[in-house]
Chains A and B, each alone.
Chain A
Amino acid sequence: MEQSLAEKFYYFMKLGRVFELRAKEEYMKGNIGGFLHLAIGEEAVHVGATIAFDKGDIFVHYRDHVYALAKGINPKYLMAELFGKKTGISKGKGGSMHFYEPSLNFYGGNAIVGAHIPHSVGMAYARKYKGENTGVLVAFGDGATNAGNFYESLNLASLWKLPILFLCENNYYAIGTRIDKASAITDLYLKAKPYMLSKQIDGMDVFEVYKAVREAKEYIQEESKPYFIEAITYRYEPHSMSDAGNYRSARELEIAKSKDPIEKLKNSGLLSESYIKYIDNLVEKEIEEVVEFAKNSPEPENIELYTDVLCEVCKNVLP
């Protein structure tokens, strides 16, 4: 069981990392535009939580690539979205920050810090109302915990006894401002304590993330109450590709990278050398094909400018 999980984690973490490193490369070449927020270094949180939360609804922030991959969305459609192509997950209309696949219970991808937190509360309400007990997970960064949306949502989730897991990724920086410059409380799980059970975990350890989210999921489903997890993590890359990242020292980065979640998993003794080699080759090949697919996909047709704005047929609802 542990071994098969470890293998699954390794595949998705490696897939996420290679996907993003290639995305970075293609961004530098000008094939990808807009903002590109990479989650390199944070894979343990994104992969561990998503896999632990199977079948539940997931809402995430703009750093959404690895979550979407772990949720099982075909990387081809994600890369094509970054390229702005017709075959993209959002037909090239959303880009990096807007991956959505409701059929897989994945609801983005939101580019406004914390705006998706109330959405997840509404979803949890709807699920509970309909007697569907799959649970809702919402992930956000440390920066979001200083915004009104966050507190409004904690209050409602607690008041309405909703099955929702708040997953805070504390990577210490809100763009370039360090947490102690922006937040009076830096142990973020304490912010949720008055409202619900909350804990802090090591977000660089995929097993710890998986275990914590699994337990939290069982709790929210059984008790129909919210739960809060603060996962301590770190992004190696700047906030986005347009950020020079000079607010952190080389030493700080070096220390963070010494705790690399993928290396840690490799050293766990749960994966064989041959498996690691096999996956590394597989993923490199897969991403190669993914990039080719994105490159060769057509641009959206001009008419797409006007579609998906509003529903086109209204006759059936008129008096």
Chain B
Amino acid sequence: MFYREALNLAMDEIMEEDSSVVILGEDVGFYGGNYRVTEGLYAKYGEKRVIDTPIAENSIVGVAIGMALGGLRPIAEIMTANFAMLAMDQIVNNMAKLRYMSGGKIVLPMVVRMPQGVVKQLASQHSQSLESLFASIPGLRVFTASDCITAYHGLKTAIKLDDPVIFLEHTLLYFEKFDLPKDSYYNPFKARVLKEGKDITIFSYLKMVHDVLKVVDKIEKTLNVSAEVIDVGSLNPLDLETLTNSVKKTKRFVVVEENPKHGGFGAHIVSSVLEECFYNLDAPPLRIAGEDVPIPYNRKLELLAIPTPEKIYSKIVEWGKQNGL
């Protein structure tokens, strides 16, 4: 099924069983969602539960906070992470802090869902990966979804949790198809080992997971190694146990991320793993990240700004050769 359908299914199933779950956001209702994630829910649950809002992001999150205070479990959709910048006061100063500032008296069971990432020629105000902003705020959980399994189970868990969750999707994944087996299981607090290997660990999340998987065979053949591929999944909390266990085994690791390298989330992964595994390593870690530039409109320049399967392949091969593989 489509990734957007897995998200839709997660919300549909939970709304069916729990009338306190409501959705709010721009165009989520009658229109069906700009990426069709909420399609059909308005017809099924009505305008009281699938609530169209004005273009006022700060209030979308602020109102969701109030709804959570009033005993609802709101899912706020922000059309893109770029627009979440208008809601940063509510996300950072309120959603993340009310529980702590009230000594635990206030509990906010709410999710703010949003897609992010570099799309196709939308230019810099519509093409950003902002996960490191959200993941650096104590008091927020930050989940990412890379396929239907993580989208479906991850979102369901996010909605059921009593914590405020930032749920990050990737715009380019909405119309991608992935399997959602009936007996699938996913715990969003655990990183997923997508492919086992013994010589290199490659960490990534969201769309980059697929760009890695596209070239991993070729990397293995060229370097004559076996690579472990891990979808980091939750950025806060980070499942450091799974990450370090893998690195202790393979002794070499790479992080592939779409966000700009400077202050990017990969820096946190590298430093966290190094603190635990410095003496286990046979090579310095490699970061393959976005360039430190706003994303340009021109397609050729846009592709230069972010990791692509070709770049992931060539950078890992070059690094492997330099480090005795």
A residues touching B (Cβ–Cβ < 8 Å)? 57, 88-94, 98, 100-102, 107-112, 115, 117-127, 129-130, 148-149, 152-153, 155-156, 159, 307-311, 314, 317-319
Contacts and interface: CB of A to CB of B under 8 A. Distances in A.
A149 B156 contact: no
A126 B21 CA distance: 11
Contact of B105 (A102, A122, A159, A311): A102
Contacts of B105: 90, 100-102
B62 A115 contact: yes
B106 A107 contact: yes
A119 B94 contact: yes
Contacts of B74: 122
B157 interface: yes
Contacts of B187: 318-319
Contacts of B69: 102, 107, 119, 122-123, 126
Interface stretch (B158-166, B218-226, B300-308, B313-321): B158-166
A122 B24 CA distance: 11
B104 interface: yes
B47 to A, nearest CB: 10
Interface stretch (B25-33, B53-61, B244-252, B255-263): B53-61
A125 B93 contact: no
Contact of B101 (A93, A155, A317): A93
Nearest to A319: B153
A310 B98 CA distance: 11
Nearest to A317: B160
B94 A129 contact: no
Contact of B99 (A121, A152, A309, A319): A309
Given A88-B103, A123-B67, A319-B157, 13 more contacts: A98-B101, A108-B98, A119-B94, A122-B65, A122-B67, A126-B71, A156-B53, A308-B99, A309-B99, A310-B99, A311-B162, A314-B161, A319-B185
B70 A122 contact: yes
B106 A100 contact: yes
B107 to A, nearest CB: 7
Contacts of A119: 62-63, 65-66, 69, 94
Contact of A121 (B63, B94, B139, B157): B63
A91 B103 contact: yes
Contact of A124 (B54, B66, B141): B66
A17 B62 CA distance: 32
Given A107-B106, A119-B62, A153-B59, A126 B100 contact: no
A129 B104 contact: no
B284 interface: no
B22 to A, nearest CB: 7
Interface in B134-190: 138-139, 141, 153, 156-157, 160-163, 185-187, 189
Contact of A118 (B65, B93, B139, B186): B65
A118 B104 contact: no
Contacts of A121: 59, 62-63, 66
Given A122-B68, A319-B156, A102 B189 contact: no
Nearest to A308: B104
B64 interface: yes
A193 B90 CA distance: 26
A91 B90 CA distance: 23
Nearest to B165: A310
The 10 closest A-B pairs by CB, nearest first: A122-B66, A126-B70, A118-B62, A91-B103, A308-B104, A317-B160, A100-B102, A122-B63, A152-B59, A90-B103
B48 interface: yes
Contacts of A308: 99-100, 102-104
Contacts of A120: 66
B241 interface: no
